[in-house]
Amino acid sequence: MSMSTGHGAGSIVEWRDSDDKLVQAYLVYPDGHVGRIMTGVVIVPDCAGFSTAYVRTFADKLSEQGYKVIVPELPTTGATNDEWTNSGMFRKWRDAAVALEPETLDRVERCRDLLKQTYEVQRVGILGLGYGAEVALRAAPSFDCVAVLSPTALPPSAASSTPTLVVTGDRNEFIDSSHVKAFLDASHEATSSAFPAVRVRVVPGQRHGFALSRIADEDAATLAIADILDWFITHLHRFRVAACTSDGDPWWPQGKNGPFYNAGLGLWQQQRAEWIKPVLPRPPKRPPVPSETIFEGLSSMKRTFELPQPMALADIVELYVDIWDINL
């Protein structure tokens, strides 16, 4: 496997598949947390492939949220606008892509393994964009959670018990309410849990690709992306996972991906608290002496004056200042 820089904040990684074909993928992760990010996301792009600006921007934004993200190159790519309009050219491309789906799934699984084995990621989610949603749904059993945005299909046969989020517009040119219902029914049958493993968010008035390169409503796109981020936080969030992955290291009590704890400082504070703890109880505080008595004694002409009890130096100085002012 080799790596090179490319467009976006990440790099291009390359490897040879079983047929000795060169495969590329876009990899990005936050530099400030290298080695401590325990969650990752594989993005399956739409028909335009992994090199489009909006796909890489999506990956970069996910990495800013603390995920290692990789986007594999599809075996075949087409024009984005063909997918948005459900044109005959896209349908022809999709037929070719479906024929190559086993190869696409192999690339997706290779990306998952790359994150886990090379980049020490423990939990991996998958995000499908456009046509990539079909691949993501079929690969779902191999991942910890799934999110799909503007899917071109919701095949009931792809339903699984993996937590799945579907975000689509109600004017999507590829699917309608009947497709959504059939997928939901199949998902409920696929899970044995009392809680459904799938959630569908239908955004009113939005067409296919409304949150990708076909953004006409910024608010709708922002809410859709926020739903996806919340989904990954719920099922992949690094601090939630860290609570159950402690390796016994006192400096990282919640695991390698949790917050750092200064064990040395904690030990010092504990020992200091023991050291300053009083051994004997302090005597009760004496009642205050009337200031008039002290004032008269200090202002007398006697050579010495014995205080009736220990007093604070500041209080004595204050009384002497008063005597000085009176005698001026």
pLDDT interval class at 84 (50, 70, 90)? low
Q: What is the pLDDT of residue 32?
A: 60
- Per-position DSSP letters for 254-284, written without gaps between them: T-TTS----HHHHHHHHHHHHHTS-SSPPPP
pLDDT interval class at 312 (50, 70, 90)? confident
The predicted model scores a pTM of 0.69
Q: What is the pLDDT of residue 234?
A: 85
CATH number for 11-236: choose from 3.40.190.10, 3.40.50.300, 3.40.50.2000, 3.40.50.1820: 3.40.50.1820
Q: Which of 29-43, 88-102, 221-235 has the lowest mean pLDDT?
A: 29-43
Question: Higher pLDDT residue, 288 or 98?
Answer: 98
Sketch the domain layout of the chain as residue ranges. Answer: 11-236, 291-326
pLDDT (tens digit per residue) in 105-142: 999 999 999 999 998 888 999 999 999 999 999 999 99
- Compute φ and ψ for 68, nearest 5 degrees: -85, 125
Which pair of tokens denotes residue 131? Answer: 């046509």
Question: Higher pLDDT residue, 82 or 309?
Answer: 309
- Mean pLDDT score of the chain, rounded to an integer? 81
**What contacts 224, CB < 8 A, 6 or more positions away?**
149, 167, 201, 203, 210, 211
The answer to whether 84 and 52 are in contact (CB under 8 A) is no
CA distance 279 to 84: 78
pLDDT interval class at 3 (50, 70, 90)? low
Q: What is the pLDDT of residue 134?
A: 93
pLDDT (tens digit per residue) in 174-193: 888 888 888 888 877 766 55
Mean pLDDT, range 297-317, rounded to an integer: 76
| pLDDT more than 70, % of the chain | 81
The answer to whether 58 and 41 are in contact (CB under 8 A) is no
Q: What is the pLDDT of residue 135?
A: 94
Work out the widest C-alpha separation in the chain, in whole angstroms: 116
Q: What is the pLDDT of residue 94?
A: 86
**What contacts 218, CB < 8 A, 6 or more positions away?**
none
